[in-house]
Amino acid sequence: MVLADFCIKKLAISGIGMTAVFFFAFPSGALVLIVLSRFSGGIRHHLYPKHPIVLFVRGLFLVIAGYLLFNSLLHNPFSQHIMITQLTPIFTLIFSVVFLREVLRRQLYFVISLCVIGLWLIVDPTLDSISPFLFLALATAATQGGSHTFIAGNSHRVTPIGFTFWGTGFLALINGTLWLLFDGNVPNMEALGWIQLTSLFACIGLAMIAFGLQQARPNVSQVGVMLYIQTPAAITLGWLFFGEEPTFSSVVGGALIVCSGAYLALSSNNTKQLSKVSPSENNN
């Protein structure tokens, strides 16, 4: 997903509007998802809208997250945006406890405290030059966390490919309507190329995350470990392509969020494995 965000950042700072990006991105992404569905169970199995209300809610999540993400990338440094959105798995954990009734463990309180400290270090330890736009990144993380929880809770209704296809389709419909009403300018060929890359990276990433979330039930937190590889990649891309030299405090803050989230997910996995082993040991 960090590669999709990188492409969106390049498009945003070059003056391409949000509605054009999300509208023109849909065709190539949809084609990839149709091909994937054709060779992995059939188009009807993945793309037939059996639960339109569930798909509509997923689409709303994606529209809100898309708006917040685009504007956060437009106004915030790329690496700072990515480091703050690494709170997404933490929000997913919290929401999964509330809505999916996963077990709340004591480690969660400790991890949340570390994440708050990490967020404070990323934003600005002195709070003198804090930008209100950074709250867009925080809101993006919360919205994505809610979306991840919703996907995991509806794994028996919609497949990962189906969630991604209809979610991005709804995002394209809303933004295409806004583009026709208020913009109407077709991006140049170079921008269209970057938009198609955005679509490919985003659709593949969203489908893989959805698959991981659904397979991880009832331990959604395990997926968070894999998401944390985005932080070093984002710092490197921001440094090389956008001239964003990270501050020491922001690197420490990002490391706190990464380590605390990874620790919680891994400890959750160990607890689950121990609970499976215990009954057999007791029987012996």
Structure tokens at 230: 């985005």
**pLDDT at residue 216, as a whole number:** 53
Amino acid at 126: T
Predicted TM-score (pTM) above 0.95: no
pLDDT higher at 208 or 45? 45
Instruction: Give 133 or 263, the one with higher predicted confidence.
Output: 133
Is 215 a residue whose pLDDT tops 70?
Answer: no
Average pLDDT, whole number, for the chain? 80
Separation between Cα atoms, residue 1 and residue 85, nearest integer Å: 11
Contact (CB, 8 A) for 219 and 269 = yes
Least confident of 9-13, 59-63, 88-92: 88-92
* Separation of alpha carbons 261 and 223, rounded Å: 10
Question: For residue 53, what pLDDT is reported?
Answer: 96
Cβ atoms 269, 223 nearer than 8 A: no
Reply yes or no on whether the pLDDT at 227 is more than 60. no
